[in-house]
Amino acid sequence: GDSVAAGLGAERRKETLGGRLAKGMARRLRRPVRLRTAAVVGAESPDLADQLAGLPDGYAPHVAVIVVGGNDVTHRLPIAVSTQHLRDTILHLRGLGAEVVVGTCPDLGALRPVPQPLRRLISSVSRRLAEAQAETARSVRATPIDLRRAVGPMFFDDPDAMFSLDRFHPSPLGYRRTAEALLPAVCVAAEAALSSRRQPAPR
């Protein structure tokens, strides 16, 4: 994914979105969790293919979490282009045997440094992209989590605590709340993947 998936704004690795999810999964599932983050700061949905290509040969994750879309909005990428790349990525990951959870595009209207009326515009576009991402995810058997509804109000109500110093990326608390929103679905996905890989191969 993008800079949120990469954890930009967190002070320590364990405070990143991936770090929070890995720790939470290990606690809930009571087993070791190995985290690999392929996200790149500034990435857009078309960059997901390169992130997949950068994974080691034979790499087969049990569960993959995708968070992308903010840069698609700010760079005015057509929603149809964004969702096609998201669909291709999910299908690739499912082909590796992974369950996939998609954190949909957050509401960029929470970005106070962006002046009005531009902030209202990007809020509307980010909402439409999030809805399209959710529909795309469901169509290829991935699980979407609506981050706009799950954590968006927290970013609007308490921006000083939820945003890092740059006012564009989550703070450690922002990542914690985002991870909490994703964690239940990620654990369910991980358990489903573990169960399917334990099933004996058909004869």
User: Active-site positions?
Assistant: 3, 166, 169
| C-alpha–C-alpha distance, residues 36 and 14, integer Å | 13
Q: Taking Cα atoms as reference points, which of 51, 60, 49 lies closest to residue 6?
A: 51
| C-alpha–C-alpha distance, residues 169 and 74, integer Å | 14
